[in-house]
Amino acid sequence: MTTTPDTASTKANPAAARSADPGSGPTTPRTTHTVFNQAPPRRDINEFSLNTALKDALAHYSPGASHDELERIGALVGSADFINDARLVNVHGPVLRTHDDWGNRVDEIEFHPAYHRIIGDALDAEAHSYAWTHPGPGANVERAVRFMLFSQIEPGHACPVSMTHAVVPSLLVDSALADFWVPRATAAGYDPRRVDPATKSAVTFGMAMTEKQGGSDIRANTTTAVPVGDHYLITGHKWFCSAPQSDAFLVIAQLDEGPSCFVVPRVLPGGDLNSVRIQRLKDKLGNRSNASSEVEFDATQGWLLGQPGRGVRTIIEMVAQTRLDCVLGSAAGMRQSVAEAAWHARGRAAFGTKLIDQPLMRAVIADLQLETEAATYTALHLAAAYDDDSAEAADFRRLATAVGKYWICKRGPEHAYEALECLGGNGYTEAFPLARRYREQPVMAVWEGSGNVIVLDVLRALAREPRSAKSFLGFLETGLGQHTDFDAAYESLARSLQSAVQDLDSGDAAARAALQGRGRVLVEKMALLMQAAILFESAPFEVASSFAAARLGADRGREYGALPDGVDIDFLVARA
């Protein structure tokens, strides 16, 4: 059950609780001209039932999944009310109140009521917890689909949803902390009140790692912790802390043993506020519905999670899960982009012909859909790897999650731009969702390790965990014999990986530096072949063979729509 500041009005009259959409009501007759040849608004549709790629991928990776709840979510997020709420929370973003009217420090974030409705819907639907509350085959896959459906329409709220999901493996390293926090973090429901967490049945989590001087270099952090009884007092700062309204955070601070991980509640047992001082909210390019902040800790109380000096290892479990969610969010954004572009092309004519029937536009839509299919199947393939407890699956996902995060998140912004261009001037205005999506997509590539950080992580895995490379290549081998372009690309990558491992093992600093300089080339090859192998394993052959021709062949183009022979344009457009 969700508890929000406007719960009563929402439950009593859901239609009245959501502000009227300025584009959905009756219109005043015009005397100067008649409006025609504009595609109708894309709303009051079912985002699950219309997403053929997502449904097909779900059927492959979780064949026993019930569609009833997913159909309900699809109708909810495709409704005019939900779409308008997504607009409202980005127009009326979060506001920081550092002090109350009497000068008392409160460090409170105020949100538009639409934000509480959206995140409440997502948490009610277990977009954060389904994998933990329904363990078994397909649990992570079905949770991924829930997360993607909500993220497709409003991605900002997905940040705290993702972190609340991802924190569970890290919490489990300490049974006492897990016993208190995990049942609350995995509960279906939303309670935004700032009260003693012991009095709440549902909580949300955030994390705070990066500092001004360090960024991704966590070991350069200067925030410190000192023991006091059963807890620690933390002093320092964090340069980025998203969702500072969360009930608790995982925080990295220095002990004598090195960087360590702590659980820091926003409200202490008994109801007093912990000294988490929010300095300001970031003014971001996109992701504007989500509060991202700078915080300071002044003798802030925290409880050690895991071993002293092992904080990076403890929190990396959370980071791995949020990296997966960056892939899910990017794929969801691609679906929104191509769906809006195809909808417009089907509803608008130029020079006497529907855009969707014009060869140039069909090529662009087909290519956008091809990218979306590859991202969607890869996202659910990675989610399925987290459902598999085998050592082989662990080896694969260690490398594959990083590779997927690097490539799919980088493809998102260009994909959104090309879809935006399909709408012409409409796409460039804030009245349509693709301007917001274009500003949103880059954050997925920045969060949880930007491109170079991810490439270094891949190289580190190749050096330290050679089984990961073996498992990765073993999976790629399943695609051999399906397409000549795939086979040729595989042979090239196999040689590159063998050479990379030799350079990493050699101890030759110059060879390692040269390899690092080629790192992006290597990871890009790995990503494209991984996507192709996944498609050959799980997608319709028309999709897989089109991807091999368009992304691996010698005639592949640089821009969307520059497709070589061998791409089934009609098949792809029909699925967009």
Q: pLDDT confidence of 30, banded at 50, 70, 90?
A: confident
- What single-letter DSSP state applies at residue 273? B
pLDDT at 12 over 80: no
Host H or E run for residue 68: helix 68-77
SS3 167: helix
d(CA 125, CA 183): 16
What is the residue-wise DSSP string for 106-126? EEEEE--HHHHHHHHHHHHTT
d(CA 59, CA 72): 17
Give the position of tokens 């699809």. 74
d(CA 460, CA 457): 5
Cα distance between residue 539 and residue 371, in whole Å: 13
Q: Report how far Cα 151 is from the mean position of its chain's Cα atoms.
A: 8
Strands 353-354 and 349-350, how do they pair? antiparallel
The answer to whether the beta carbons of residues 4 and 120 sit under 8 Å apart is yes
pLDDT, residue 219, reads 82
Contact partners, residue 316, CB within 8 Å, separation at least 6: none
Residue with tokens 């949100």: 111
| Nearest C-alpha neighbor of 286 from the set 316, 242, 323 | 242
Contacts of 529 (CB under 8 A, 6+ apart): 476, 479, 486, 489, 490, 493, 552
What is the DSSP secondary structure assignment for residue 318, as one 8-state letter?
Answer: H
Q: Is 143 helix (H, G, I), strand (E, B) or coil?
A: helix
Query: What is the three-state SS of 528-541?
Result: HHHHHHHHHHHCCH
What DSSP character marks residue 549? I
Contact indicator for 204, 243 with CB cutoff of 8 Å: yes
Given this model, what pLDDT does residue 27 score?
73
pLDDT greater than 70 at residue 111: yes
pLDDT at residue 218, rounded to an integer: 83
- Beta-strand pair 205-208/224-228: unpaired
CA distances from 387 to 15, 135, 397, 460, 567 (A): 38, 8, 11, 24, 33
**pLDDT per residue as tens digits for the range 236-260:** 999 999 999 999 999 999 999 999 9
What are the distances in angstroms from CA 119 to CA 209, 245, 292, 413?
Answer: 24, 13, 16, 24
| Other beta carbons less than 10 A from residue 364's beta carbon | 27
Helix axes 451-464, 509-517, angle to 10 degrees: 140
Q: What is the mean pLDDT of residues 4-18?
A: 44
**CA angle, 60 then 61 then 63, to 5°:** 65
Residue 232 confidence (pLDDT): 99
Residue-wise pLDDT for 429-451, tens only, equals 999 999 999 999 999 999 999 99
Q: What percent of the chain has pLDDT over 90?
A: 92
SS3 content of the chain, % helix, strand, coil (to 5): 55, 15, 30
The packing angle between helices 519-538 and 509-517, to 10°, is: 60
**Is residue 550 within 8 Å of residue 370, measured between CB atoms?**
yes
Q: Which CATH architecture has domain 312-575?
A: Up-down Bundle (1.20)
Collapsed DSSP state (helix, strand, coil) of residue 206: strand
Are 509 and 502 a contacting pair, CB within 8 Å?
A: no
Tens-digit pLDDT profile for residues 337-389: 999 999 999 999 999 999 999 999 999 999 999 999 999 999 999 999 999 99
Q: Does the pLDDT at position 16 exceed 50?
A: no
Question: Rounded CA gap, 315 and 166, in Å?
Answer: 10
How far apart, in whole angstroms, are the C-alpha atoms of residue 62 and residue 377?
12
- Could you state, in order of their start, the residue ranges of all structural domains in the chain? 7-23+37-309, 312-575
Q: What is the DSSP string of 227-266?
A: EETTEEEEEEEEEEEE-TTSSEEEEEEEETTEEEEEEEES
For residue 97, what is the enclosing H or E element?
strand 95-99
Residue 102, classified by CB atoms within 10 Å of its CB into exposed (0-12), middle (13-18) or buried (19+), is: exposed
- CA dist 376 and 145 (Å) reads 10
Average pLDDT over residues 320-348: 98
Task: Give how far Cα 105 sits from Cα of 96, 178, 191, 403, Å.
Answer: 12, 30, 22, 44
Supply 86's token pair.
């997504």
Give yes or no for a contact between 243 and 160, defined as CB atoms under 8 angstroms apart. Answer: yes
Question: What mean pLDDT, rounded, does the chain reach?
Answer: 95
The per-residue pLDDT for 220 is: 87
Who's near 229: CB < 8 A, 6+ residues apart? none
What average pLDDT does this structure show over 202-215?
A: 94
CATH number of this structure's domain 7-23+37-309, picked from the four choices 2.60.40.1930, 3.40.640.10, 1.10.240.10, 2.40.110.20 = 2.40.110.20
